Each structure stands twice: as C-alpha cells, then as structure tokens.
Structure 1
Amino acid sequence: MTQPLTKKEIEDFNRAVAIASGDEGLREIADALTPEILENLSHARNCLDLIIEGWGGDGLAIRGYTSQMMGHLSTARELCEAYTSLALGAVEAASSEVGESEPAPLEALPAVAIVTIHRDNLEAVAGFIDQFLPAISKRGRIPVEQLWEQLRSGEVQAHIVWDTAKETAVALAGTCVVIRGERRIGEIVWCTGKDRHDWWFHLLTQLETHLREHLGCEGFKVVCRPGWKKHCQELGYRLTHIVMERDA
C-alpha cells in the first residue's frame, strides 16, 4: 500500500528540484517524466471521485476503483523517486569534487527506471533516442526517419531504460496497441540496448504494467530476436509463431 511521503523524502525531492534547475540533462528527464506523473495523479483523482460518488453502493466496484487508484499513485511515486535519485546523484557528484560529504544513495531504489515518453516530449529527449535508432533501423530494415515518424505520429511510443547509478540511457523500446476482436493487445515492437541482463526484467514487467493500467491492454505480445526467447518464457510468454524472411 502506498504510504505518505516522509519529511526526509520531501526534503530530498526539494533538493532534487533545486539541483535539476541548473542541470540541462536532468531538466530533459524531468520534461519527459512530468506528463507520465501528472497522468497517473489525474487517474488517481478520478478513481477517488468515483469511490466517493459510489460510497455505500457496489462494494466490488469501490474495491476495483481503490485498487486502480493505489496503482496509479504507486507508479507516480516510483517515477518521482527515480528522478529524485538522479538529482541526488548529481548532488553527490558535485559535492565529491569539492570534498564535501553527502548521504549515501537511496539503496531501495531500482537499478533502472523505465521512462515512458509522450510524443509531445520527443524533441526534449531526442538525443537519448537518436543513439539507439541506427541499431533498430539496421535490424528491422526500417529507415531512421521512418522510425521517428512512427514515434511522432503516436503509432509507436518510446520507452527509455535509464540506469540510475550511471545516470545514462542504456536501452530504448517501442510499444504499440493493436485491436484483436474486442481485446486490446500491447505489443513491444522493437528494443535495443546494452547490458540487457541488467534491465530486461524491469523493462518487460513495467511495460506490461503501463500497457495494462494506462492503455487498457488485456494481453501482451513481444516481437523479438531469438536471444529474448528465454527472458520472455521466464515471464510466462509462449512461442506462437516463427517468422521467416528472405530477400527477393
């Protein structure tokens, strides 16, 4: 269950905001995270309104709205904590240069954060995205500009895997939603990065959460290269097709 922020957490976040105001890289991350955080808080508020309106009525519905509200609040908090970790890392780096002592990093935070990018914020993080597109282009035989068009049009949504310790982007994934009958299926259509074993689990599980809770998906599909087969099967995916290709 999500707990209220402690005084220390509030102080840490305020310090993070102060540091970020003078760090261009952190500002770019903040611009990318803000819509996702605000969207989750908005959904949580809507759920709360429904709970209040239905109080004393359908207990099952209230329970469902409560579960959704807590999920949205939890996601918003995780994003805030990941951002706070990045900014505090910048504080520690700056302090070490002048010989000051700072508190140790927050050990409870995940090693990576999955940052979902709204298409309105693509330009703010274009530098992070550009470094991965050539590899996706080569493997998928899709021109880089066409990949950008998929992102700008909203056909594909970008997700950056951010290493919170190294403070750098280590991977990029793209997702879309397809309709099968009356079901919405979330597809991971491309992904590339380095040191996959450090982040693949976080990526797949958090993308599933995003697709399920924010886009209403009832199932998931991963379009991947053979090396991902084992990872997907560990999370319950099954092999349904084999795609064969040849040049004309």
Structure 2
Amino acid sequence: MAQATIGDSEFDRATAVTLRESGVYDAQLSPGWTIMGVLNGGYLLAVIGRALGDALPQPHPFAISAQYLSPSMPGPAVVRTETIRSGRRLSTGQASLFQTAEDGSQVERIRVLASYVDLSTLSDDVRTTAKPPVIPPPEHCLSVTDSPPPPGASALLERLGTRLDPATTGWTLGTPSGLGEMRGWFTLADDRDADPYSLLLTVDALPPTSFEIGLQGWTPTIELTAHVRCLPAPGPLRVSLVTRNLAGGFLEEDAEVWDSADRLVAQSRQLARAPRG
C-alpha cells in the first residue's frame, strides 16, 4: 500500500470542516470512526480541533479540553467557534459541536476550550524524567486480526494499524490482568504520518483500560483533556494507557504518546463511565 500523505488520507477527509460563515463550520461525521455505533471521542475532538485551527491565528492544538454532553452520531454536524483571546504566541478559543435531533432542535454534543500555538516555534529545551513505554517490536504484538474483536461492532478498528502489547491483552482470552494498563503501537491503516490533529485521535483510540480490569463494554468519555507537546516525527507511535482508580462507576485514564524519536508528543487524561458488565 502506498503511504498516504497528510491531506489526502481517509482521516483528513473524515475530519474536514467547511467554513459556512465567520466562526461557523459544517462537518460530515463519518460512520467509519464508530465504536458500537457511536463516534469515537478522539475522532470528534480532531474534527472540532480542525475548526478551531482555522479560526485561531496559530495552527496547532496545544491544550484542549472537551466535555462530552451526549453521544454523537454519523451525519451532518455544525461546529460553532469563538475566539476568546488572540495572542502573538498563544491564542485561546472555544467551540461546540451541534447535531439536529429528530424534532428539528439543535443538540449540543461536545463543548471544547482550547489553546493553540505554532509547535514549530517552541523551545527544544527538554528536561524530563519520563521514559517511553517498553513494548515488544510490532511483529511480536497482536493486531486486531490476531484476537477476537472487542464487544460490539467497531468500524474504527478497520482504520487503525494498532498492534497491542501481549502483556495487556489478557482480556482477549478471558484472563484480564486486573492492572488497568493498555500499551501498543499506533498507526493509521494507510500509514499516514502523525500530526497534531491525528494525535487527538491517538490518545483515545486504543481499547479502554477497563477491559484489563475485567469490564467489557462501551466506556463513554465524560471529559477529555489533551496536551500536544511537539510535532511528531514520522513513523509509528507508542501509546501507554493507565487507570489507577475506578470508583463510583467512573474511571480515569491517563495516556502518553511517544514518537519514533523517543519524544513525548502528547499526553491526556480522561474521565469515563465504567462499563456495567
């Protein structure tokens, strides 16, 4: 398969937005990015992220926080943006994604507050104690075709080249580790190189850590905050997810994304409702 370039891949087409009028963008949400018939939260964040990237002076999402108010479905949507602060190095905006209900009313699905920068202008001074996750080579990891798929139909899996660390896939055999960890290599199926918008998908694209706790089923996101730290180098990404606390029917999930140059390129934390199973 010829490698897709940024701009002509299925991901780019599926997250495209069209300016209707100042601050208002039309989108066609694709059924190809669903899990159990509901659109993936990271995919939706990328759609809104593109609208804000067009509306604000700086091009790249830097810190973006979303409240997921109701499930989004494939079909038409409208993203309404507002510039809160326009600065020379950093700008802040907010956006909401709406869909039309059967009764004709406009339903707000997601509300986002975000700061944008030009990542290419950031300092290259890095001082960190963080280390990339240790994951076996991709050929020693499990693809989605190597094991039973997660419960429920998932068109999203067909668009990803994810390969999971066998140490975090006990759930596929009915023997979850109980540790609440998920690790793997991440690419899009057409090998499109990562960019700041696809990183918004990456932080929410692996199977949820709840599977390794022994709970399988839909794990809807309540809130997701992502930080994009730098422009990723070409090549596959390594993703690590960890849940340390499940209480009251909700769990947190912390994600780290590392590029092929061993740089931490994205981080996120989300609060999700635990499956009832």
- Higher RCO (C-alpha 8 Å, min separation 6): 2
Normalised to the residue count of structure 1, the TM-score between the two structures is 0.29
Which of these two proteins has the greater Rg computed from alpha carbons? 1
Normalised to the residue count of structure 2, the TM-score between the two structures is 0.26
Structure whose residues are more often strand by fraction? 2
Structure whose residues are more often helix by fraction? 1
